[in-house]
Amino acid sequence: MTHKIQSKSSFLAGLLMAALLTACSGPAEAPRPLPQPPKVAGQVYLAADSPKKAYIKTARLSLSQHPLLEPLAGKITYNESLTSRISSSVSGRVTGKPVALGTPVQAGSVLLELDSPDVANAEADFAKAQADLMFANHAFNRQQELYAGKAVSRKELEQAQDDLSRASSEVRRAQDRLKNLHIAAGQSDGHFALRATVPGIVVERNVTPGTEVRPDLDAPLFVVSDIKSLTVLMEVFEINIGKIKLGQRLSITVPAYPDERFPATVQYISQVLDENTRTVQVRCDLPNPDGRLLSGMYANITVESGPDNKAVMIPLTAVFTEGNADYVFVALDENHYQQRPVKIGLRLKDTAVIAQGLQPGELLVTEGALMLRAEEELETDGGNP
């Protein structure tokens, strides 16, 4: 009996010991949580493996030449200093084939020929004036001989001298008319050659073979221009005219070549303000060495700052607005972002010129700023799990 009681006590003691050991060992220890960075207003921390980082893009900031105004609309035209609109100074019928469009010509090149009654009359007037001069000269010489022999009076000699002077004047008048028409003094066929006055390309032609032409036609017969140099016309509002200077550089884009920029230079600023539109017309030289730009094209014009006037420019996707202020996020390191207020000097279609708040070399969040702002609110409110 005593043996059974001892065995039972030993069994109970073993169970008690096992229970105590089990209670002491307990469940396996959970891993300690990693220390969290301090929560600072305006700053966001993302975990290294956060899926949100895939939506964030950054770019290193640098200084660049920036526009002074929003892009202006303009129109490309011929350079008037290198363009000639040529009409006929006489009436007549076109003979032969006029010069074709696109033909390169030099100053003095023949563009068309006319069979002209006006030219025939001018040639006849010159021939008659020459004949009258010859007769007046003979008459004067005869009167001089007679006067020397006292066969005529001095009055008759003076009359012959006056006739000679008038005949000489008439010859000069008829000769000047031929010169103005670029007709040789000995020509007598009634033909007239219309010539180019400047070198360039025939860009317009309003005449065909056999056409009757007159000096009073509204449209010129030919337009010749040097298309290697064009002009851009733009209208600038009076409030902005102080930002435009002679010799200032511009950047031109056209719908035909949207990815290319063409340089231009301010050549003339009008001294007259259009009171209806409150604008001033500005003419700009536009080099066109390859001839791809055409007169009549519409242009988008960017007025650039001087070479030493540079600023930080950022995409508008990086900017978000709260109240009356603009903000961006700057990446301080791979996982650490800081909200930054900025002052925008000029807001364009896709970019903004920064006047204050960012420095070259900083890493700007160009995409994902709104997501970081939402994350900042979660952290600030303590709602981040």
pLDDT digits (tens, 9 = 90+) for 106-123: 999 999 999 988 888 888
Q: What percent of the chain has pLDDT over 70?
A: 88
CATH at residue 157? 1.10.287.470
Which of 19-28, 130-139, 203-212 shows the lowest per-residue confidence on average (mean pLDDT)? Answer: 19-28
At residue 380, the pLDDT reads 63
At residue 5, the pLDDT reads 44
At residue 318, the pLDDT reads 94
Verdict on whether the full-model pTM lies above 0.75: no
Last residue of a domain, which of 182, 215, 234?
Answer: 182
Question: What mean pLDDT do residues 268-297 have?
Answer: 95
Q: Domains in the chain: how many in total?
A: 2
Residue 354 lies in a domain: yes
Last residue of a domain, which of 164, 182, 200?
Answer: 182
Residue 332 lies in a domain: yes
Last residue of a domain, which of 153, 182, 211?
Answer: 182
Residue 125 lies in a domain: yes
Residues 6+ apart with CB under 8 A from 13: none
CB 72 within 8 A of CB 253: no
Annotate 218-243 with three-state secondary structure: CCCCEEEECCCEEEEEEEEEHHHHHH
At residue 39, the pLDDT reads 67
- Tell how far CA 338 is from the center of its chain: 39
Looking at residue 27, the DSSP 8-state letter turns out to be S
Residue 320 lies in a domain: yes
Residue 7 lies in a domain: no
Question: What mean pLDDT do residues 91-117 have?
Answer: 92
Higher pLDDT, 270 or 385: 270
What is the pLDDT of the chain when averaged over all its residues?
86
Residue 74 lies in a domain: no
Residues 6+ apart with CB under 8 A from 340: 327, 328, 329, 330, 357, 358
At residue 175, the pLDDT reads 85
Which pLDDT tens digit goes with each residue over 135-190?
Answer: 999 988 998 888 888 888 888 888 988 999 999 999 899 888 888 887 877 777 88
Structure tokens at 34: 């990693």
Structure tokens at 77: 């035209």
Provide the residue range defining the domain that includes 166. Answer: 118-182
Which pLDDT tens digit goes with each residue over 19-58?
Answer: 544 545 545 455 554 455 556 778 899 988 889 988 999 9
